Amino acid sequence: MKNIKRMSAIELAAYIQSHLRQAGIEVVLSGGASVSYYSQNRYTSKDLDLINAHFAARKSIRAGMEALGFQEKGRYFWHPDTAFIVEFPEGPLSVGQEAVKEVREVELGTGLLRLISATDCVKDRLCGYYFWQDQQSLFQAVLVAKTNAVSMQEIKRWSKAEGKLVEFETFRKRLRTG
């Protein structure tokens, strides 16, 4: 097994997920680290958002993380051998007002990585743009959409349900122009 010090964010996420799964805790990678995965690290994130998909008790998560050498500080977990921080946002696993449609599983040398699909990753990033006008989130959504097969029809349908068709058109224009 690779040393935590040498693990990428994605390898570390798989390692943590596999360890927690043995304790009956299911988490799914979302947020900026999923953008890192889908962009082949053209975007990098120093935090891992592992969504607490089945509402495991915080004390159970804490025990699992402490067994791996992580320490809890506020809402984050830190390990002395890595610069990555880990957060466990409460579920449900959703983008905007809708449940995530698909969870992908990827086998890595450090464990089984569970993460939201590329289409849901785009929606997740568009939430930041749609609701807080965050231009970095729009950039990330475009990056993922340009480098992966995503369902533009599904993203448009979702955007309409969120009341954000005007913003969706801005996203679509950015895809075309770069």
Predicted confidence (pLDDT) at residue 178 exceeds the cutoff of 90: no
H/E element, 145: helix 135-147
Predicted confidence (pLDDT) at residue 110 exceeds the cutoff of 80: yes
pLDDT digits (tens, 9 = 90+) for 18-34: 999 999 999 999 999 99
CA distances (Å), origin 147, targets 50, 69, 94: 23, 35, 22
Residue 1: pLDDT band (50, 70, 90) is confident
Instruction: With beta carbons less than 8 A apart as the criterion, state whether 47 and 64 touch.
Output: no
- pLDDT more than 70, % of the chain: 100
pLDDT digits (tens, 9 = 90+) for 29-59: 999 999 999 999 999 999 999 999 999 999 9
Predicted confidence (pLDDT) at residue 169 exceeds the cutoff of 90: yes
pLDDT of residue 101: 84
- 58 HSE (CA, 13 A, CB side): 10
Phi and psi angles of residue 41, each rounded to the nearest 5 degrees, phi first: 65, 25
- Which residues are CB-contacts of 59 (< 8 A; sequence separation ≥ 6)? none
- pLDDT more than 90, % of the chain: 96
Mean pLDDT confidence for 74-78: 97
pLDDT of residue 166: 98
Mean pLDDT confidence for 101-107: 95
Q: Count CB neighbours of 118 within 10 A.
A: 22
Residue 86: pLDDT band (50, 70, 90) is very high
pLDDT digits (tens, 9 = 90+) for 122-140: 999 999 999 999 999 999 9
Instruction: With beta carbons less than 8 A apart as the criterion, state whether 29 and 48 touch.
Output: yes
Query: Left (φ > 0), alpha (ψ -120 to 50) or beta: where does 40 sit?
Result: left
